[in-house]
Amino acid sequence: MRRTDALGRFADALSSLKLTLACLALLMVLVVACTLAQVQLGTHLAVERYIRALIVWWTPEGSTMRIPVFPGGGLVGGLLLANIGLAQFLRLERSWRKAGLWVTHIGLALLFVGEFTTALMQVESSMAIEEGQTKNYSEDYRRMEVALTDVTDPGFDNVYAVPDSLLKTRRELPLSGLPFKLVVRAYHDNAQIRMRTPADGPSEVTSGMGANIAVSPLPLVTQDNEQNTAVAIVEPVARDGAGLGVFLVSNGLGAPQGFSHEGRRWALSLRQRRYQHPFSLTLKDFRHDVYPGTEIPKNFSSLVRLKDPATGDDRDVLIYMNSPLRHGGLTFYQASFGKNDTLSVLQVVRNPSWTLPYVSCTLVALGLLWHFGLMLRKTMVKVL
């Protein structure tokens, strides 16, 4: 009996209106704090630290200690989701008279589920494409990979990619199907690279241009228009244990590096992580329109040719502000441009739950219309 009473009190507290209001107040504080933090952290990092985290941490300047200072959006949102769900089943009357409130609560729950799903499953990348160029891949502007490319055949390249999540483990990485493994000696998410001086001492890099380069680790950049200069020191090792050279690779180095093994030539580079797509886009024309007599932008648009052998698509598509291209589970938005208006940058988003906010808002609107419509009808009947 004591256990039942304790569970009952816990359920009452978890489903209370006071908790609902407290969670909403905490979310409003988090939104304001996240908005202010974007000045220093940038949009992506601020959202990750405030809205999608369970706890908001504070690190004192000059220290590595992390101190919890506030519940994060993930924790508050999860608590509010539990609150709404439990309140619906414990407090709402199961009748047609309250059907509107049931639909409204379901819509609100879907809104939070959609945000959690987006945080876990959404992948953002970009496609920088010049007029006349064709691409079938996009690049992640926050994640990196080491690319090992078999360039023996001048007409065809075989590429093997190792993501930065594995590079950060700093261990031996067996490469399936390749006659060597990759030993990661060091990896830095962001670093300063410069020419070595006698004061730097001997370098562990033995091959390629990296032997003349010194590396100084730096904090991660936070602004949306900045990019990290990642650095990896890797060594391909043959099956018999013979080293094939120690290389320093970085997205800040443009010169190709490589080695030969068993009669084949390999190129080695560190680049933004690529996502291959089963279709291609060709940029036919990019437009940057301004208002007459001014330099104020009026419209940005990209006319692309979509070709997808799997679906038989072969058509022109115009991508412009608020009119993206949706194809193959991806959404292509007009994001930026360059090279005297001959290059277009498309933001590419994979978000399996992109429809949930629309469904949620529709259910909330219908639920409120149903509920207040019944109340209005009841009031009018009494008046008449």
What is the pLDDT at residue 76? Answer: 94
Whether residue 268 sits in one domain with residue 160: yes
Q: What's the CA gap between 324 and 127, in Å, rounded? A: 14
What is the pLDDT at residue 9? Answer: 83
Question: For residues 19 and 79, is the Cβ–Cβ distance under 8 A?
Answer: yes
Q: How many helices (H) and strands (E) does the chain have?
A: 7, 18
Whether residue 230 sits in one domain with residue 289: no
Using CB atoms within 10 A of its CB, is residue 84 exposed (0-12), middle (13-18) or buried (19+)? buried
Q: What's the CA gap between 251 and 256, in Å, rounded? A: 11
What is the pLDDT at residue 266? Answer: 94
pTM of the predicted protein model: 0.80
Whether residue 286 sits in one domain with residue 237: no
Whether residue 161 sits in one domain with residue 64: no
DSSP symbol at 97: G
Residue spans of the chain under pLDDT 70: 1-4, 384
Whether residue 118 sits in one domain with residue 27: yes
**Please, which residues bridge with residue 60 across strands?**
none
Count Cβ atoms below 10 Å from residue 152 Cβ, excluding itself: 13
Whether residue 269 sits in one domain with residue 152: yes
Provide the H-helix boundaries in the chain: 2-14, 17-41, 43-46, 73-91, 99-121, 164-167, 356-383
What is the pLDDT at residue 299? Answer: 87
Whether residue 318 sits in one domain with residue 200: no
DSSP symbol at 169: T
Dihedral pair phi/psi, residue 172, rounded to 5°: -75, 130
Indicate the number of domains in the chain.
Answer: 3
Whether residue 41 sits in one domain with residue 101: yes
Whether residue 270 sits in one domain with residue 154: yes
Question: For residues 106 and 87, is the Cβ–Cβ distance under 8 A?
Answer: no
What is the pLDDT at residue 4? Answer: 59
Whether residue 73 sits in one domain with residue 31: yes
DSSP symbol at 323: B
Whether residue 281 sits in one domain with residue 270: no
- Angle separating helix axes 73-91 and 2-14, nearest 10 degrees: 110
Domain housing 54: 2-122+356-383
Whether residue 362 sits in one domain with residue 263: no
Max CA distance (Å), the chain: 96
What is the pLDDT at residue 316? Answer: 96
Sign (positive/negative) of CA torsion 9, 14, 17, 18?
positive
